[in-house]
Amino acid sequence: MGKLTIPQEELMNSGHIGCLGCGGTLAMRYLLKALGKRTMITIPACCIAIMSGIYPRNFLKVPLLDVAFETTAASASGIRAALDAKGIHDIYVVGFGGDGGTADIGIQALSGAAERGDNIIYVMYDNEAYMNTGIQRSGATPFGAWTTTTPVGTTGDFKKRPKKNMVEIMVAHDIPYAATASVAYPEDFVRKVQKAKDMDGTKFFHVFSPCPTGWRYSPEMTIQIGVLAFQTTVFPMYEVENGVYRVTKKPAKRKPVTDYIKLQGRFKHLDDETIEVIQKTVDRNWEMLLAKAEFTKKFAE
């Protein structure tokens, strides 16, 4: 057998009830490979929260606490404080929430934890809508997307606001580490988690997690969708360590956003003019990211 590129140990049981092709389950699987058994996870209402199925089934081999939607980061902070009070410092405490539970409902608890500098890891697995309750728009839903609360119909009422930039919000809290990652690139994700896991303070990961159910594509295309998000720079791969930006992975040749959009039913209503707006936005964001990386590298220690 060839040398594995990520840890071999599996800390997810088989038989979860996630949808075929679910990116969120891959995010959890790779996260646990990076952190190992000494990990405790807290999860709000989201797709992952129901994947264990009916008791006594369990899809994780680490302790899991189900909490209210808005309390993911607060509960992680509480677990961390309790462990520290008991003198237990070798357990990683993770808040693992979807984009709705992070960018919208849970953002105040996450902001509080980051402001206090609580020593936790927070992972937002981003499937760009409230998928667990029926594909409703979230703050992380991208411009142009159909959802059940931006239904298009005859009025063209697709998502008209840009996607909330959670990495920038977390960087503004002056945390030691924030990064993007994608389930299409597990080695990059695992490396970033292993790099940041022992840093003191709040660590934030924004993980691109395609959703075949909500994005309207065939389940076997999840990794392809993730690769195209990277190649088009719709979802760039970078990290911010103590305020210093670094693009961790650059596409050899950027592809047009149409290559990414055309494979997803949630964008099928878009006309050429609207797609051009999206392309210009992606171009601008990519150039800004490169500029930040160039400007901040002089502050690297």
pLDDT in tens, 151-208: 988 778 899 999 999 999 999 999 999 999 999 999 999 999 999 999 999 999 999 9
- Which DSSP helix (H) or strand (E) runs through 282? helix 272-296
Percent of the chain with pLDDT over 70: 99
Residues 115, 76: contact at Cβ < 8 Å? no
Q: What does the pLDDT read at residue 154?
A: 79
pLDDT reading at 56 higher than 90: no
Percent of the chain with pLDDT over 90: 90
Q: What does the pLDDT read at residue 52?
A: 75
pLDDT reading at 1 higher than 70: no
How far apart are the C-alpha atoms of 52 and 41, rounded to whole Å? 14
What are the phi and psi torsion angles at 194 (to 5°)? -65, -30
* pTM as predicted: 0.97
- Classify the phi-psi angles of 152: left when phi > 0, otherwise alpha if psi is within -120 to 50, otherwise beta: left
Q: What angle is formed at CA 55 by the lines to CA 49 and CA 61, rounded to 5 degrees? A: 65
pLDDT reading at 53 higher than 80: no
Among all chains, which residue has been given the structure tokens 């580490």?
177
Q: What does the pLDDT read at residue 25?
A: 95
